[in-house]
Chains A and B, each alone.
Chain A
Amino acid sequence: MPETTPKRSGRRRRPRHLLVHAVLLTGGLVMAFPFAWQLLMSLATNAEIQSVPPQPIPSRLHVENYAAVFDRLPFLHQFGVSVFITVVRTAGQLVLCSMAGYAFARMRFPLRGVLFGLLLAILMIPSQAYIIPQYGIVQAWGLLETPWAIVLPGMFSAFGTFLMRQQFLSLPVELEEAARLDGCNPFQTFWRVMLPLASPGLFAVGITTVLYSWNDLLWPLIVTTRETSMPLSVGIATLQGQHTTDYAVLMAASVMAMAPIFLLFLAMQRRVIEGLATSGLKG
């Protein structure tokens, strides 16, 4: 009888779960395989990478592939550009979106609904429809080949403002009234009272922006052509030779380009997944 009653309280292992584990483990390994293979190949020689049949385990660990990355690429430059664009864009968005989101959630002013509607309309338009004029602007301002060209358009986010508005709408009004009675001006109320309470929203906007800035390809590819002005997401492509490719070095560079994001997300695992889930479900 216990086999047929679908009671869920028991801690016993049931045969049904064995099948589930088999499926999930297979699927999970398919998901993880590219990372594992890239790591292994980053420690192999080119001959081992191209061997038939495949040779998964390198004869010895060719750590020198990682050192070679610094000779083939201005890796530190590109790493610096990636860090700069990620930090500036994320910080800029957090400040601008939380301020605007707060005003849209809590202040009354003429045209509030119209302006918010116009802002949301941006979300329905694909970014390609902005790119040519945006290129014209950063070119006219003399910013091509600088990290500012990569950062500027992305600092103003309709999506981030929308998320922050939702966040502020969910907070109690009474706190603001108390702050106002205590003599805070609107900025002090926002900065000292409301913003600290909005940290889940800030976190959701922050991680989405970090991930997007670090990995973004099309826009940085367009506004940078010199190897020293590129972020890593563009720079790695310059290692793909047209006729011969040093696969081992390419794999090592790829591992190094992805490592910072993986370490960051490993450090904040739980909150990241919650944050992404909120940003997704509210969007």
Chain B
Amino acid sequence: MARRRGPHRAGAWPWVFIGPLLAGVAVFYYYPIVSNAWTSLTQSGAFGTNQRFVGLDNYAGLVDRGDLGTAVLNTLGYTLIVLLGVPLSVMVAAMIELPGLRFAPLYRALFFMPYLAMPMAIAQVFRLVFNGDFGLVNQGLRALGVNASPYWLTTPGFALVAVALFGLWSSIGFNVIICCAGLKGVPRELYEAASLDGAGPVRQFWAVTVPMLTPSIFFLTVMQTIAGFQLFDALFALMGANNPAMPQTRSLVYLFYQLGFVVNDRGSAAAVAMVILVFVAAVTAVQFWGQRRWVTYA
């Protein structure tokens, strides 16, 4: 009887099926994670020679130089701004999925488009828009009478806001698609019952849409937080590698890239990677714990 769920008897076959994947995973994931943890405790010469154990020196160095603190703050700031996209997307999706709304497929397509965009390519037009001299943002500000309009992409602080606005724009597409898909699963009768009870559209949004969407909202919050912690593309594409404001604006992953592959300090870069790992693991832990508390499953 125990064989019923698996029609094929054990033997060599399962290993034929999972062997290639497991071999690749062992080489490219299991060995690297162990190796990276070890590398973070070592220092080596410019070409990876003379690797020696230094304990937690790499971590201490990152903290002492202030690089780590700045990168953590920038990463968190960016992530918070991008997370504003989740409530926005819930509202947009709730409107798009109103029963009988005309042009709904058109709206869905418009909001979805940023998800397809290559960050490096679409960032080029954001570089124009945020340009200090002729960018549309500053021309708009000047038209409104703001004369001290900043050089967005080369001024610390402003640069992070510009990058985060770009990240926010990029994140909306995926958010809206997930929310729209979540709303399709909400039974129409709930809205009918709510309106029979005299609930208007706003009340229905809070009393039906939001609770029924909690699985999507929770999933998106976790996903966008993890994605935010891994900020690199938007920063690199929008600001460029030689930007004078980069040291004050860089994220954890940018710091990792610069240490590991520009100045070739692999030990410190590996330490930054371990810090990113801790951040992501913390979010995953919150996910497991929080899912039971906040999410309503229909």
CA distance A211 to B15 in the complex (A): 30
Distance in Å: Cβ of B206 to nearest Cβ of chain A: 15
Q: Are B181 and A277 in contact, with the CB atoms below 8 A?
A: yes
Which residues of chain A are within 8 angstroms of B134 by Cβ–Cβ distance?
A: 49-52, 54
* B268: min CB distance to chain A, Å: 11
A95 to B8, CA, bound (A): 20
For chain B, the count of residues having a C-beta within 8 Å of the partner chain is 109
Contacts of A37 in B (CB 8 A): 125, 128-129, 136
From 160 to 211 in chain B, residues with beta carbon under 8 angstroms from any chain A beta carbon are 169, 172-174, 177-178, 180-182, 191-192, 195, 200-201
| Contact A269–B109 (Cβ < 8 Å) | yes
Cα of A126 to Cα of B182 in the assembled complex, Å: 27
Which residue of B is nearest A257, CB measured? B121
Contact (Cβ within 8 A) A233 B120: yes
Are A20 and B169 in contact, CB atoms less than 8 angstroms apart? no
User: Is chain B's interface secondary structure helix, strand, loop, or mixed overall?
Assistant: helix
Bound Cα distance from A28 to B107, whole angstroms:
6
> A58-66, A103-111, A197-205: which one contacts chain B?
A103-111
> Which positions 20-47 of chain A face chain B at CB distance < 8 Å?
20-21, 23-25, 27-32, 34-35, 37-38, 41
The distance in angstroms between the C-alpha atoms of A118 and B6, with both chains bound, is 21
Minimum CB–CB distance from B288 to chain A (whole Å) comes to 10
**Residues of A with C-beta under 8 A to B63:** none
Q: Nearest CB to that of B220 among chain A residues? A: A280
In the complex, chain B residues whose CB is within 8 Å of the CB of A35? 113, 117, 122, 125
Q: Which of B196-250 contact A (CB under 8 A)?
A: 200-201, 215-216, 219, 223, 226, 229-230, 232-233, 236-237, 240-242
Q: How far is the CB of B213 from chain A (nearest CB, A)?
A: 12
Which 5 pairs, one residue from A and one from B, show the smallest C-beta to C-beta distance? A277-B181, A28-B110, A156-B24, A133-B32, A103-B17
A residues apposed to B, CB below 8 Å = 6-8, 11, 16-17, 20-21, 23-25, 27-32, 34-35, 37-38, 41, 49-54, 96-97, 99-100, 102-104, 106-110, 112, 115, 118-119, 122, 124-137, 152-153, 155-156, 158, 161, 173, 176-177, 180, 185-187, 189-190, 211, 214-215, 217-218, 221-222, 232-234, 236-237, 240, 242, 247, 250-251, 253-255, 257-258, 261-262, 265, 269, 273-274, 276-278, 280-281, 283
Given contacts A152-B24, A283-B219, 19 further A-B contacts (CB under 8 A): A38-B122, A52-B134, A54-B139, A99-B17, A99-B21, A129-B273, A130-B29, A152-B28, A155-B24, A156-B24, A187-B13, A217-B120, A217-B232, A217-B237, A221-B257, A237-B236, A253-B121, A257-B118, A281-B219
